[in-house]
Structure 1
Amino acid sequence: MAARVRRKPDDAKRMILEAASKLLAAGGPAAVQVRAVAAEIGVSDAAVNHHFGTRDQLLESLLRFGGAKLKAELRNVLSEWADGPAELVRALAALYADGYAELALALHRSGWRDTGAGMLDEVIGRLHDQAVSRCAGTGRTPPSREAVQLTMAGLHQALAMEPLFGADFRRSAGLAADARERTLGWWTEILRATLSGSRLPEGRRTPRRPEQDGKA
């Protein structure tokens, strides 16, 4: 009989959540059962319950796990910035396509509510800072932080619902149900347009700095 491997609690939790994430991507929330997760990594059902209590608590932790993965990926996108808007849109879309849209909806229907806020705060802050820096070099007025917030809120909502309702909404507007790639491209252009700012009025040689807004 193989010796039992003892892992630190954080390592064990991460392994369980990674296994649950794999099952979620393959079969949706219904596939994330304690027994299936335990079998995936070769532990007992009791071991999974020891770390997460109940299946509902496991699912809630899995949703937060997905959010943490998304934040890390978006941080990398913003650091490299080869084509920031396109990569950011695709990173958001990929997360929800892997079952997290269904998971969020299932938890919401069960009565669970996420009381946290600002999952995208860091991303929005960095997008705004980068937009201000780029606009300073192009002679354009940078977007306000709220403009970036509103754009990201709309983008996030649309991509979270895309796997569930995207095709139906496109059909309702007379678009082909399979126009997902064009939808992602449209959102990329919306984000890019927001971040590019607006043209300065005639006679303004240098853009107004954000801290000057509201000052005479």
Structure 2
Amino acid sequence: MILEAASKLLAAGGPAAVQVRAVAAEIGVSDAAVNHHFGTREQLLESLLRFGGAKLKAELHTVLEAWTDGPIDPAELVRALYALYAEGYAELALALHRSGWRDTGSGLLDEVVDRLHAQARQHCAAIGRTPPPREAIQLTVAGLHQAVATEPLFGDEFRRSVGLDATARDRMLEWWIEILRTTIAGQGSTGAPSTF
């Protein structure tokens, strides 16, 4: 309950809104009750970031389960990643990073990469294409992850730097979806990438 309340406050007002007193008031407990579970505000914020990671993993499993029923469409993956960071988790990760906290975990998207690579190999074998190497998929997914994680923080500024306005955000997400589709499509006999 505490982390759900903190997550709502984060989405509404960013990391500054996630104060022990505000979280306690949101669920009707004392500040001491929140501190009992998390120790300090910093530990609450770190737990909240891990909570966000767990939410993302659950969402990714939903996406992966949908992929078992047919061809992979990476659109839901891109949208799931974007949605989490748009809910304040990008700003939270940056704030914690600035305070010296470092994520020691790894492999959040390993299963996604494995599934995309397996699908690419299967699809390319069926139509006579050369599948992409696993590293090409890793690099594409890492670039995508970096882009959607920084989108809520810097997306408008990056778009303005090349003459695009805020309305281009959705087109940029669609562009990432197409880049991922192109990567997993492999290469034809000419060596040029193609899409499904």
TM-score for both structures, normalised by structure 2: 0.91
Paired position in structure 1 for 2:116: 127
Amino acid of the structure 1 residue aligned with 2:174 = G
Return 5+ residue gaps in structure 1 as ranges. 1-14, 203-216
Give 1:145's aligned residue: 134
- Distance in structure 2 (CA, Å) of the matches to 1:135 and 1:96: 33
2:24 paired residue among 32, 38, 45: 38
Match of residue 195 from structure 1: 184
Distance across 2 between alignment mates of 1:138 and 1:22? 47
| Structure 1 SS opposite 2:100 | coil
1:74, 1:36 → 2: CA distance? 30
- Look at both structures and tell me which one has the larger radius of gyration over its CA atoms: 1
**Equivalents in 1 of 2:146, 2:180: separation in Å?**
14
- Aligned-residue offset at 1:61: 0.9
Mapped to 2, the partners of 1:95 and 1:43 lie a distance apart of 27
Match in the other structure for 2:13: 27
For residues 13-162 of structure 1, the aligned pairs below 5 Å read 15-81=1-67, 84-162=73-151
Q: RMSD of the TM alignment (CA)?
A: 1.6
Sequence identity (%):
78
Name the CA distance, whole Å, in 2 between partners of 1:69 and 1:128. 24
Moved over 3 A (4+): none
Q: Deviations over 1:7-62 (max 9, x none)?
A: xxxxxxxx211111111011110111111111111222111111111100110111
| Letter paired with 1:164 | L
Structure 2 counterpart SS, 1:174:
coil
> What's the CA shift for 1:71?
1.3
Which residue type is aligned with residue 38 of structure 2?
F
Question: 1:201: Cα distance to partner?
Answer: 6.0
Q: Following TM superposition, by how much is the alpha carbon of 1:168 offset from its aligned partner in structure 2, in angstroms?
A: 0.6
C-alpha deviations, 1:149-169, integer Å up to 9, x for none?
000110000111101111111
1:177 paired residue number:
166
Partner of 2:194: none
Question: Structure 2: how far apart are the matches of 1:133 and 1:39?
Answer: 53
Distance (whole Å) between structure 1 residues aligned to residue 118 and residue 23 of structure 2? 41
Alignment correspondent of 1:207: none
Q: Secondary structure at the match of 1:140?
A: coil
CA shift for structure 1 position 178: 2.6
Deviation by residue 1:123-182 (Cα, 9 ceiling, x = unmatched): 111221122222222221111111110001100001111011111111111112331000
